[in-house]
Amino acid sequence: MKELNRSTFLKYSALPLLGLALQKCLSLQSKPFLQKEANFSPTVLVIGGGISGICAAMKLQEYGISAQIVEAQSYFGGRMKSVLNDNSVSAELGAQLFNQDMKEIINLLERNYLEYSSVYGDGNTFSLNATGKEVWDEDSNIYDWIDEEKFLTKLDSKDIDQDFSLSEAIDAMTDEKEKRVLLKNMFRELMGKNPELVSTRGTYELYKRFNSERDADELHCENGLGRLIESLIQKLEYAPIHSYPITRILWKNGKFISTSKKGVIESNYLILAVPPPIIQKISIEPKLPQAIQKAISSFDTGDMIKITLVFKEPFWRKKGWNGSFVSNVYKGVTVIDSSLKNQKQGKLVLFIGAETALNLSKKKQEHRQEFAYNLTKQAFSENWQMPLEYYEGIWVKHPWCGGGYNSFVKYGGTPNAAEVLRNYNSNLLFAGSEISAEFPGYMEGGIRSGYSAAKKIHSKIKSQKVKP
Ligand SMILES: Cc1cc2nc3c(=O)[nH]c(=O)nc-3n(C[C@H](O)[C@H](O)[C@H](O)COP(=O)(O)OP(=O)(O)OC[C@H]3O[C@@H](n4cnc5c(N)ncnc54)[C@H](O)[C@@H]3O)c2cc1C
């Protein structure tokens, strides 16, 4: 999720860079790691090879507990998916941005010698209306339009167990109609759904868990996050298995028997690192407790398309534009400059959410391409250039990841569904970005949630007290 106003960024000093270079040289001298074949009777089976599953397996390995990852798709990383080129990245089709308070993703990048830099933050931002651009003040932040007091008054006016739609909440946030429209469009992009379908209390729970005062989109990885995934996967003791969707989980005689069309894996513990709406596709026997089932079915998937346009240069900067703008013509469309420091080329990324994404997903690629070209041409008509490359990530009704950016608690669902899943204490644990206690909906949340599930299993094994 992103905010429009980007603060200036601290550049990392020369000293840590030197340290990094030294570590890199030393690591080249260390022995190559020999990965063992897949383990079909591990202590822990981790279902889902996204960042949360990978981090759960990594942590278990650190604790000396055997863990095996199985992944439904033909690649690992889930919603982290890069189109890589020689030493950089052509496009991030999924996750891309993070901030300096997201310590775990930064830690992983540094440990794997991957570079990150600040996102371009200068220049003017605007909203694009049918009649043209409306430039925002340099310091204007769309979230400043939210009258928090009004919102909280509205929240307090209802009983604690009485939920209302995010659309109703936005109506209470500001008296200005135009701002309401723009805020609703922003939330369409952030949640990937029409705010009428989103739970206010669920969203409020989510925002309370974002433990940072900084914008979420300060930094990005120069080499491509796909390289981080590759690097982490290679360090796992047991080779993760891809193209292995689990369809059935049976708890029998003190063991989990997890079945895919390709085979069966037995384990003592299970981590389900699969987005909540996708869990519903797996048959679990005996059935999970009612409260857990209710929490799982409280989530719905977001609809999101992410398009990257690569230009010869970031031409928009010449006229003092920042590159980022929100469309008021198309609902739920936000654009940012995502050019990398190490590349001369300019990149604009279009985040397209909710109904607009759903409609575009039904069209051919040519149509989406034309949409992206026309929108950016309309925004920067003065000196628009024909893009050199086009990339798209379609995260609409995604069969394995649910959608984009994330799943969310729908209006009518259990607002604290994430907490319910996170705190489920059995030999089957849930992990995933959505349910994380911190930074939910971000890679950082996925990492922390994976670590946390692994830590719980470690404690259970240590105490040997907990029975399924
Ligand atoms: C377009 C887009 C842009 C985003 N931008 C950002 C960003 O800039 N910054 C940020 O921090 N976050 C961003 N996010 C969100 C971020 O990508 C996710 O929150 C995070 O990657 C989720 O990780 P995860 O491991 O919880 O889930 P996932 O990545 O969804 O991993 C779950 C895995 O489980 C697998 N699976 C599902 N069912 C089964 C089964 N039955 N058997 C085996 N495997 C199964 C899936 O194939 C998938 O690989 C973005 C997401 C999208 C889609």
Nearest-angstrom CA–CA distance, 133 and 348: 17
Identify the bridge partners of residue 267 per DSSP, sorted by sequence position: 256
Task: Look at residue 28 in the predicted model and tell me its pLDDT.
Answer: 43
Measured distance CA(89)–CA(226) in Å, rounded: 9
Q: Report the amino acid identity of residue 48.
A: G
| Percentage with pLDDT > 70 across the chain | 91
Question: What is the arrangement of strands in the sheet containing 67-70, beginning at the earlier edge strand?
Answer: 67-70, 44-47, 269-272, 428-430
Please state the pTM of the whole predicted model. Answer: 0.92
Helices and strands of the chain, counted as H and E runs: 14, 22
pLDDT at 252: 96
The Å distance, Cα 81 to ligand 1 centre, comes to 9
- Residue 253 C-alpha to ligand 1 middle, in angstroms? 32
| Residue to substitute in 433, 448, 451 for testing ligand 1 pocket (most ligand atoms within 8 angstroms of CB) | 433
**End-to-end distance of the chain based on CA atoms, in angstroms?**
37
pLDDT at 382: 76
Measure the CA–CA gap between 126 and 438, rounded to whole angstroms: 31
Mutate which of 45, 246, 333, 400 for ligand 1 pocket (most atoms within 8 A of beta carbon): 400
Strand 269-272 versus strand 407-409 pairing type: unpaired
63 C-alpha to ligand 1 centroid (Å) = 25
Per DSSP, what are the bridge partners of residue 98? 219
Tokens of 48: 């889902």
- Compute, in angstroms, the gap from residue 434 CA to the centroid of ligand 1: 9
Across 214-247, b (16+ Cβ under 10 Å) vs e yields bbbbbbbbbbbbbbbbbbbbeebbbebbbebbbe
| Cβ 430 under 6 angstroms from ligand 1 | no
Q: Provide the pLDDT for residue 6.
A: 35
Q: Is residue 29 predicted with pLDDT exceeding 50?
A: no
For residue range 235-279, list pLDDT tens digits in order: 999 999 999 999 999 999 999 999 999 999 999 999 999 999 999
- Testing ligand 1's pocket by substitution, the residue of 274, 303, 308, 334 carrying the most ligand atoms inside 8 A of its CB is 274
Is residue 14 classed exposed, middle or buried when 0-12, 13-18 and 19+ CB atoms within 10 A define those classes? exposed
Residue 98 Cβ < 6 Å to ligand 1? yes
Asked if the model's pLDDT at residue 449 lies above 50, the reply is: yes
Question: What atom of ligand 1 comes closest to residue 97's alpha carbon?
Answer: 8
Q: Lowest mean pLDDT: which of 48-62, 160-174, 225-239, 415-429?
A: 160-174
Q: b/e per residue, 394-405, with b = 16+ CB within 10 A?
A: bbbebebbbbbb
Whether 193 contacts 15, CB under 8 Å: no
pLDDT reading at 155 higher than 90 = no
